[in-house]
Amino acid sequence: MMSGLEIRNLHVQIEGKEILKGLTLTVPKGEVHAIMGPNGTGKSTLAYTLMGHPSYEVTEGEVWFNGRNVLEMEVDERSRAGLFLAFQYPVAIPGVTLANFLRTAVNARRRAENPQDKGISIVEFRKLLKERMAALKMDPAFAGRYLNDGFSGGEKKRAEILQMAVLRPEIAILDETDSGLDIDALRIVSEGVNALRGPDLGVLVITHYQRILNYIKPDVVHVMMDGRIVESGGAELALHLEEHGYDWVREKLEER
Ligand code: ADP
Ligand code: MG
């Protein structure tokens, strides 16, 4: 059994229209992979499907995570099992601080592993949080903020990265949407991923721009086009795409 995320021949429809058309992709634990592709090619569809969004209907294919069938798992079960989807944080919840929210999430994860778990003590959790925030060079006061209440784009990203640092998922999927990450947010995400990357974490960065890959050096770059992964290579593939665009990939596909 491979440790990590394995997607085989995934077909997904939205409102009867097929968007993913046989996508196959493996992200082993310990590696950073990037998906690049033109707009409208289905990158966000893949992220939403993995997070179990009800509008996305899987008609064919399989998704495995550590030998478990992801498509048969409830949404919260997926995250408790160690699959992290960065945009999967709740909207503003009045009166809940980021620290409280993170502690609840840690306890849910612990109970998923052991139903008898009594949960992390407040003292123990504070220590963990302090440690992880220091490693990410974050101001400890940030954890006292109310969740997403007036968070800027950069702060939302910072909260996501902190959530990742505290939950320690095995696979994290980050969909950098086209809404245009500002430089600050880009830096927070990149530095966070770089600080957390290691043998126990696999990351899938879905991106519309090559820019973020100047900061996060992926082990593998995948090109997605028309609902499939059509090309994979090393970090140099991202640079090549930045310089030459996607036309050469299209031409190559037509020749096949
Ligand atoms: P990408 O992230 O690569 O830009 P998306 O996954 O967002 O691409 O979109 C892929 C295709 O699916 C597009 O043609 C888009 O118009 C369509 N699509 C995405 N979301 C929806 C939706 N909720 N309803 C209908 N069509 C959608
Ligand atoms: Mg998108």
Beta bridge partners of 217: none
Please say whether the beta carbons of 66 and 1 come within 8 A.
yes
Beta carbons of 85 and 173 less than 8 angstroms apart: yes
Nearest CA to ligand 1 atom 14: 40
Structure tokens at 59: 């008609």
Which ligand lies nearest to the CA atom of residue 174 in the structure? 2
pLDDT tens digits, one per residue of 119-152: 999 999 999 999 999 999 899 999 999 887 788 8
Q: Which residue has the higher pLDDT, 1 or 36?
A: 36
User: Residues with beta carbon < 5 A to ion ligand 2?
Assistant: 43-44
Atom of ligand 1 nearest to the CA of 45: 6
Confidence of residue 18 (pLDDT cuts 50, 70, 90): very high
What integer pLDDT is reported at residue 178 of this predicted model?
46
Nearest ligand to the CA atom of 45 = 1
Neighbours of 196 (CB within 10 A): 19
Residue 156 scores a pLDDT above 90: no
pLDDT 10s digits, 228-252 = 999 999 999 988 988 898 999 999 8
How many angstroms separate the alpha carbon of residue 4 from the centre of ligand 2? 23
Q: How far is the CA of 117 from the centre of ligand 1 (A)?
A: 41
Residue 55: the pLDDT is: 93
- What mean pLDDT comes out for the span 76-92? 75
To the nearest whole number, what is the mean pLDDT of the chain? 89
How many percent of the chain have pLDDT more than 90? 57
* Residue 7 pLDDT greater than 90, yes or no: yes
Residues in the chain, total: 256
| Percent above pLDDT 70 for the chain | 95
The yes-or-no verdict on residue 91 having pLDDT over 80 is no
Which residue lies with its CA nearest to atom 16 of ligand 1?
40
| Predicted model pTM | 0.90
In angstroms, what is the span from residue 128 Cα to ligand 1's centroid?
39
Contact 159, 88 (CB under 8 A): no
Please say whether the beta carbons of 63 and 173 come within 8 A: no
Higher pLDDT pick, 210 / 6: 6
**Which residue puts its alpha carbon closest to atom 18 of ligand 1?**
14
- Tell me if residue 215 falls in helix, strand or coil: coil
Average pLDDT for residues 91-110, to the nearest whole number? 86
Task: Give the residue from 233, 213, 210 showing the smallest Cα distance to 221.
Answer: 233
Tokens of 138: 């974050």
> From edge to edge, which strands make up the β-sheet containing 202-207?
83-85, 171-176, 202-207, 32-36, 220-225, 228-233
Pocket of ligand 1, beta carbon within 6 A: 14-15, 19, 37, 39-45, 55
Predicted pLDDT of residue 113: 85
User: 122: exposed, middle or buried (C-beta count within 10 Å: 0-12, 13-18, 19+)?
Assistant: exposed
Q: List, in sequence order, the alpha helices (H) in the chain.
A: 43-50, 75-80, 98-113, 122-135, 153-167, 183-196, 236-244, 247-255
Q: What is the pLDDT of residues 49-71, one digit of tens each?
A: 998 889 999 999 999 998 899 99
From 44, 177, 178, the mutation candidate for ligand 1 (largest count of ligand atoms within 8 A of CB) is 44
Q: What is the CATH number of domain 4-93+170-255?
A: 3.40.50.300
Output the residue whose Cα is nearest ligand 1's atom 19. 45
- The pLDDT confidence band at residue 88, using thresholds 50, 70 and 90, is very low
The Å distance, Cα 47 to ligand 2 centre, comes to 9
Ligand nearest to the CA of 57: 1
